Structure 1
Amino acid sequence: MNDPKCYADKSFEIECRNQQKPYLKHLNLEVTNIDTSDSMVEIMNPVFRLNCKDEKDSKPFINLSGTPFSYSNVRNKFTAIGCNKIAFLVSNGLEVSGCVTLCDEHDNKEVNSNVAYGYGQGSDGCLGRFCCETSLPLYLSEFNVTLESMKDRNSSDECVHALIGTEYWYEIYDGVNGGIEYRSLGDLKGLNYVRAMLDFVILNNTVKLPSDSNCTHVVGYSSSSSARRCECYSEFYGNPYVTGGCIDFDSSNKNSRAKWVIIGVSASLGSIILLLGLLFLYIVVRRRIIKKRKQKFFKQNGGLLLQQRLSSGEVTVEQAKVFSLRELEKATDNFNVNRVLGKGGQGTVYKGMLVNGEIVAVKKFKVQGKVEEFINEFVILSQINHRNVVKLLGCCLETEIPLLVYEFIPNGNLYEYLHDQNEELPMTWDMRLRISIEVAGALFYLHSIAYQPIYHRDVKSTNILLDGKYRAKLADFGASRLISTEATHLTTVVQGTFGYLDPEYFHTSQFTEKSDVYSFGVVLVELLTGEKPISSMREEEDAKSLASYFVVTMERDCLFEIVDKRVMKEGEQEQIIGVANLAYRCLELNGRKRPTMKEVIFELERIRNLDRKVGGGGGGGGGDVDLQGQSRHEEIEFVGTEMPWTGDSELDTLASIVNNTSSSEIRPIHAKYN
């Protein structure tokens, strides 16, 4: 394809090479499929390999910078296979993602022996043992890998593979029998390439795009403001980058109807009657087709599973509205890319405005037949009625892709305000303390007040949103689970976010309510220090994890060396120490020693009331509390292990916390200072 008229610019030029295989000439990558309707190209991506017996090391570096291509964060995953390794995905010199592979000493010996080279993997992909996988950041333009050992940072003699591939990269198509086989991890020997998906945009301003396609600018792509992407309008399919390439689904039916109208006009009365009969039949058949299509989508998107859970009494959706696709297309301007609020592993969230003027957030799932996350989030949110939890407004199941509609939270997430230095709203100490109380109240509600206990399983600062009044709203319940009142834990494949993950859950695969407490403890440390949960900027050994760094600092009595400057300036020292000790307890490695969320929220309320005791303010350093000559790491302990529930006044206090009302009537809990 050497004719320049065949491609938009040089980056899209395809050249046939070995055995007539197509390659992207500019990037030297083999092309296996082109999907213009979704603006994607499937390529064969090289595999990173290190210290594997009888195989040469392979450390590929793919750089897509300056080209219209980037790795799709929706269709790809970063996967690492090995033993006790931290695999980091590096782009522009920064560690942008990563995951951890685990196996014990016995497994490690087997993996390094000649007999057990092939440790197992099922048809569901990486199951978290010997291998790990994680999602990619948006618009990733580089593939580069660095490794660290979990046990010995200087140890690197274990065989390790790392790759970026599609969700089903381990599938092998049988061209003879037409079936699908699944590659075990042992089959990685000799594997040099896997299938991966690249998104593409049009960067060349001189390229004239079709007027009959929906072509929009892609916000945030690289540093270019000219990046454009096209798609066919609703009810059309085909190639949106070629004039006339989008085809109407119903064009053949429309032509057939026009033909019958002409015959009817020119025919006799009998023909007209026949035409009317055929038209009636057509309407009946069309309605049946539409009904079957809706039933198909309803079943495909988990409608039957949802009905089953409804009939069991597990969930009621009286207040949730069923939206039509037309309503949500109009609200989001046909899901315009300029309306995108964010993207994740489960799907894309769009900002929309309903006909009544209400602003909403619409989540468009990418389930590909796996609807558990969609149904799970719908069921969980339908059980929750709390002012500090994002509210579910409704859903749309009768579409090709399932949709959930939430209340719109306008002010972004807590992570942005803590770590991106937002000058418009500096995070004061009073705000940080209030937000921690609001999130603790929401988690206490989930664990103890909801009709059925709920484990969130992904508590982190990016999942804490701020509404118009900068009140905290807990979001993203795709990984959450309802727990029976008799159960003490949930046994599941390890899932969560690196930096917030409970180490006990990590090693046992048993998730308890104390695992949420651990993640909340990491959020408390973020609020105290302003540090990111994972950072390669900290020079100390084992300091990449903020939780580990904080625990070591507390044990060295060096708390005030890592506290955020604004917190030191505005917060009372007694309050800061109180929150630090609470976070320290939440980060206990032994889950049984961690406090419950009930204890956490009462302790936070007591700490906030200290400000009133010592004369108010939040502005000075220490108020009336004399800490000179005392250790900077003073531990504040509860008197007894349980809260003093003695009467109705305590129940009123609990109700005020759960409903996030004023704390002026809440009695402080007695405490002592060591």
Structure 2
Amino acid sequence: MSVKEKLNNMQTSILVMIVFILPTLVLSSHNNYPLSMPSCNDNSCGDIRIPFPFGTTRECYLTIQFWVTCNRTDVDHPKLFWGESEVEITDIYLDGQMRVMQYIAEDCYYRNGSSSSNNNPWIELATYFTVNNTANKFTIVGCDAYALVSGTRLARSFTTGCTAMCSSEADLTEGSCAGVGCCQTPIPQNVSRVEVEVKSYSNYTDVWDFNNCGYAFVVQDTAFNFSKDNLTNLSNVIELPMVVDWVIRNGTCEEAKTNATTYACVSANSECYKPTNGYGYRCRCVDGFEGNPYLSKGCIDIDECAATNHNNCTMKEYCNNEEGTYTCSCPDTHDGDGKGEHGCVLLQKKHNMKIAYVLIGVACGIITLLLAIILLYLELKRRSRRKTKHKFFLQNGGDKLQEKLATREASPDMVTIFSSSELEKATNCFHDSMIIGRGGFGTVYKGVLADRRTVAIKRSIKVDLTQIEQFINEVVVLSQINHKNVVRLLGCCLETDVPLLVYEFINNGTLSSHLHNKAKANVLDWNTRLKIATETAEVLSYLHSSASTPIIHRDVKPDNILLDHTFTAKVSDFGASRLVPVDLAQLSTMVQGTFGYLDPEYMQTNQLTEKSDVYSFGVVLLELITGRGALSFDRPIEEKSLANYFLSVLRQDLLFEILDENIVGLENMEEISVVSVLAKECLNVRGEDRPSMKEVAMELQGLILGGKHSWARINNVHDEEEMESFIRIEDGMSHFGNGDKNSSVEYDSISRDHILLPTDGGR
């Protein structure tokens, strides 16, 4: 090794020793309270003070475990040792810790094939002493080394270890001890004996150029910070500091207090406590006192008012020291408790502050009063809203609906009574952006319920309070309709001025919006239209003959036939429907419906029958095969009414001229002809001459299944002139609609929530 390298190593060694020794010098404070027994003059060794229970002679230490010796061979640097051992002590603290120097284990290999090692350095502690498991770390330094630390804890053996590897100096990181060049691991609690051993995996053959030794040691965590230079300079360091915990005696505080002769906390202002690490007990001075609690007069009062001590008096000169504490005061020109930044206030300033406090108090009182008024107003408003909701709930028949539901067994199909707050959240307080349909009798909103179901919510404009009983009956019955082609009624809300009806949401708009839009009509080929007609007929047949209570829809039209994404028909808008009494074949009611679809017989007689739905469905069939609306005010007078015009062209055998060009084809003309004749049958003036919806559904099903025309009375002779006369009646009445193709007749039921969806709307 060159002279320059030796000098560098010596400088490094000196720096390492300074780092290790400096904390000891700083922590060895010289306080003014007694540390040793009064009869002991030998209470220090160089800069290291020796507090009782430690001592160098029998009269100076408590028990033999606390015996220390001072080697003054080097007058300038005497060393303190633990009894007669070679364990050097660098500091002793009354809080139960002691710093000792621990040897480093070393294992080296040289180019000439020789090796040297200093393995198995050990330290064995006396009773009451253990290695601190939080302040120390077992550390290994090297690039081809593994090390073990073993020993005794709680009268049993233990072993743990660590490995340090690297392939080049570039792998090393300053300050990092995670396994590359350096590895650290904690040691267990209550360790009384430590033995260290370090070995090499391959005699450093792969890292010979920069490292040929491995080092292992137990060291105080704050006293060692890994550096790349440690691979070489640790060979010049013999020992490193390690922290040892001590207790005054074994046993708990409660056990110790029972024996006055051996109880160690003898100072008048001391207390016993259990240490965090180790076992046994220790003593300390209570708050406000400092010193050695193991001496009879060891804990003395702390003068918090001394210049070097801390206190929180506003004016330091007015700090008054007392036994175990202190007080603060203010001069005569000031007032206050004397503590903190504003503890002393000039009397005039205090007067101003009192005024400020009064003003602040008044302001706080006013604010509190305003908050109380606001809270009272909000509570009264909440109660008023709750009372109003309850009033509407009763007014809309909520109690009657609950009674009817209570008589039924609970089932998934049972109608749900929603709260108004639920539907407000679902529709963002019925915001305009949620509107998907608007008509003369109300508005339809799209909503998303708390369970993430998308629904359509119908909100009426007005309600007939005389029909509440009928409305409740219809809600209960309609909620029981379980048909795949019916828009299901999920429930209602009765806490608003008018009832809100909640339906399942259908996302592809109405049949009308597809038929009367050129772009969308191209998608509706003949097979799709025939399927829609069949599904609609099946629904009406189900309502008339298969439902638990027969139901007349009363407003069958393309606007009330919704389509889903697969173009499956969903019949909707049962707001105008009527339940058919068991003992009556027909109902007498004010005329209600949409012009162009109204049954002529119903318009003349006010007698509503199931055949009224048949007539309306016949007009729907016409729209499916012609693509025209039921009423077209922009066409010539003879073409204004689709039903009238259809009969005219059918009589002239010119049906082909009014067919929708999107469905015309040689392969389906026979089916179109059959549907045309079926529509003609549905449009008979007299209801008794029309087929039932069950017969209509069967006929359409036969077409889809490829069957032959089974029952349609093609050759039946009808009074077409009589039919045309009734159609003209309807045609004349339609002028009251002011040109609106969807104009509706007023009616007498709570079902005045009949709503016309826009052509591009969906539910």
Range of TM-score over shorter length: 0.3 to 0.5
How does the TM-score come out when normalised to structure 2? Answer: 0.42
After TM superposition, the score normalised by the length of structure 1 is 0.47
